[in-house]
Amino acid sequence: MAEVRLNAVLEHLSQEVPVRRVGYILKLETSAFPTFSSERRGHWLRAASAEPSLGIRPWVGGERYPASSVPALLAAQAAKRQGQDASETFHFSVFRTFLIENRDISEGAVLEEIARAAGLDVDRFRVDLKDPTVKEAVYAEHLDAVDRWMIEAVPTVIIGQERIEGAASPAIYQAALTDTPPTIGGSGEIER
């Protein structure tokens, strides 16, 4: 939801603003019995209510909830190797699969299906997933998010020195962009 709102604000800017996604590991350890808790249900219901056009559907009993966020982050790193367009398509497809279809994005078969549907070269995707530098990149991004930006929640958007946690309103993103000089973020990019 945060990304949809931020993208809507960015589309109306007169200048191009580079955006860089930074992975943050939500569930570092694999859970043997992953569940969709009542706390999670509350967050999802609020998100679904705030942005009904997204079609967010809270998980119901019987659907396998992801055991870890690491496999999806590894897959996203592998998708990046196939170019920006492929990476963007894969990124949004993973979120659709998780938030709307309620499928387990910690399962390799599900991630391969997403890669295929997103138009990725699946053979190359499989090879890249096995490359140890993909895992190193995921953990390096996570450490950067924690150490450099002190990220503790998803989503967190950094614009200049402004830290925006949660799905903020478009007005908050607009204000942060208005108050930020043309160079956004430490490297000229918005960090998410």
pLDDT at 104: 93
What's the DSSP call for residue 15? S
Q: Please name each of the domains of the chain with its CATH number.
A: 1-22+149-192 (no CATH), 28-131 (1.10.472.60)
pLDDT at 153: 82
Any residues with CB less than 8 A from the CB of 124 and at least 6 apart, and which? 81, 82
On the question of a cis peptide bond just before residue 155, with omega within 30 degrees of 0, the verdict is yes
d(CA 166, CA 47): 10
The pLDDT tens digits for 2-27 are 888 888 888 888 777 766 777 888 87
Q: Between β-strands 19-20 and 190-191, what pairing exists: parallel, antiparallel or unpaired?
A: parallel
- Record the pTM: 0.83
Position 153: which residue type? A
Q: In whole angstroms, how far apart are CA 37 and each of 58, 59, 66?
A: 11, 10, 12
Answer yes or no: is pLDDT of 103 > 90. yes
pLDDT at 184: 40
Q: What is the 3-state secondary structure (H, E, C) of 139-168?
A: HHHHHHHHHCCCCCCCCEEEECCEEEECCC
pLDDT at 183: 41
19 alpha-carbon distance from chain centroid: 13
Q: Range with the lowest mean pLDDT among 14-23, 61-70, 131-140, 158-167?
A: 14-23
Nearest to 50 by CA among 10, 88, 99: 99
